Amino acid sequence: QSALTQPASVSGSPGQSITISCTGSASDIGGYDYVSWYRQYPGNGPKLMIFDVSDRPSGVSARFSGSKSGNTASLTISGLQAEDEADYYCSSYTSSGTLVVFGGGTKLTVL
Amino acid sequence: QVQLVESGGGVVQPGGSLRLSCAASGFTFSRYGMNWVRQAPGKGLESVAFIRYDGTNSYYADSVKGRFTISRDNSKNTVYLQINSPRGEDTAVYYCAKDFHPLVVVPGTLDIWGQGTLVTVSS
């Protein structure tokens, strides 16, 4: 069982917006602004999409945005495209250990 | 460009040993903490080990503590994961990943990942 909880799957049509939630506790998401989001295509390593809750690394599309409220972080993808179909993972710094914790992952399907 | 290339994976018997390597290029390796993250077949990501930029401290997941050892050689721009007494549940793709911020003492954001190396524990 993962430390952070994500929905197993979400779906949307091209052009729509979707949001993936990531729920933790006061020891991780709720206590620190160190939430990251990663995208992973099958057979590939993850790619950083969002860090520090809402910052985008250079080169990541502005269609990707992050936010946090209490113990829940969210990733929003606007203007959905076929290439967005992938697995998405959240992670957070945690006070209960010294390694980052990950969510169980969410499979995004573009209909 | 910034790159991480893992090697050393393969089939290992329960109770055996294996050493994974991760060669880094394109950045000042000695300034960044490094991580090993694994992914069992069809499962999610699990962080298993972290080593400080200067190699003076390391952390492990409870599931591997006492069996896995992370180390680094800053002169060779390489981080290692020694796997001893592996179990079936250690079967996974192992990724090395670089910390985003330099000179940090605990891991946070992982900005560069390798392509992974598969470790299969089987007799």
Q: Look at residue A88 and tell me whether its pLDDT is greater than 90.
A: yes
Q: How far apart are CA B9 and CA B51, in angstroms?
A: 20
Q: What is the pLDDT of residue A3?
A: 82
Of A12-21, A94-103, B51-60, least confident by mean pLDDT is: A94-103
The answer to whether the CB atoms of A45 and B95 lie below 8 A apart is yes
Q: In chain A, which residue ranges form alpha helices assigned H by DSSP?
A: none
Q: Look at residue B2 and tell me whether its pLDDT is greater than 80.
A: yes
Over residues A52-79, the mean pLDDT reads 97
Q: Look at residue A1 and tell me whether its pLDDT is greater than 70.
A: no
The answer to whether the CB atoms of B100 and A48 lie below 8 A apart is yes
* Residue pairs between chains A and B whose CB atoms are closer than 8 Å: 67
Q: What is the pLDDT of residue A2?
A: 63
The answer to whether the CB atoms of B50 and A98 lie below 8 A apart is yes
Sign of CA dihedral B48, B52, B54, B57: negative
Report CA A104 to chain centroid distance, whole Å. Answer: 10
The reply to whether B107 touches chain A by the CB within 8 Å rule is: yes
The answer to whether the CB atoms of B107 and A101 lie below 8 A apart is no
Q: What percent of chain A has pLDDT over 70?
A: 97
- Average pLDDT score, chain B: 96
Would you call A33 exposed, middle or buried from its count of C-beta atoms within 10 A (0-12, 13-18, 19+)? middle
Q: What is the pLDDT of residue A95?
A: 84
- Average pLDDT score, chain A: 95
Over residues B103-122, the mean pLDDT reads 93
Q: Look at residue B77 and tell me whether its pLDDT is greater than 90.
A: yes
The reply to whether A13 touches chain B by the CB within 8 Å rule is: no
Q: Look at residue B44 and tell me whether its pLDDT is greater than 90.
A: yes
Q: Look at residue B80 and tell me whether its pLDDT is greater than 60.
A: yes
Instruction: Find out whether A48 and B100 touch, Cβ atoms under 8 Å.
Output: yes
Q: Look at residue A70 and tell me whether its pLDDT is greater than 90.
A: yes
Q: What is the pLDDT of residue B28?
A: 97
Angle among Cα A102, A105, A111 to the nearest 5 degrees reads 155
Q: Look at residue B113 and tell me whether its pLDDT is greater than 90.
A: yes
Q: What is the pLDDT of residue B106?
A: 82
A98 to chain B: which residues are within 8 Å by CB? 50, 59, 106-107
The reply to whether A47 touches chain B by the CB within 8 Å rule is: yes
- CA-wise closest residue to B100 among A41, A77, A34, A54: A34
Q: What is the pLDDT of residue B108?
A: 85
Q: Which residues, in sequence order, are CB contacts of A20 under 8 Å at separation 6+?
A: A6, A7, A10, A37, A74, A75, A76, A77, A88, A90, A106, A108
> For residue A74, what is the enclosing H or E element?
strand A72-77
Q: How far apart are CA B84 and CA A95, in angstroms?
A: 28
Would you call B74 exposed, middle or buried from its count of C-beta atoms within 10 A (0-12, 13-18, 19+)? middle
A10-47, pLDDT tens digit by residue? Answer: 999 999 999 999 999 999 999 999 999 999 999 999 99
The answer to whether the CB atoms of B48 and A99 lie below 8 A apart is yes
The answer to whether the CB atoms of B106 and A98 lie below 8 A apart is yes
Instruction: Find out whether A103 and A21 touch, Cβ atoms under 8 Å.
Output: no
Smallest CA–CA distance from B48 into chain A, residue: A99
Q: How far apart are CA B21 and CA B78, in angstroms?
A: 7
pLDDT band for position B105 (cuts 50, 70, 90): confident
The answer to whether the CB atoms of B109 and A48 lie below 8 A apart is yes
Over residues B95-112, the mean pLDDT reads 92
Smallest CA–CA distance from B105 into chain A, residue: A98
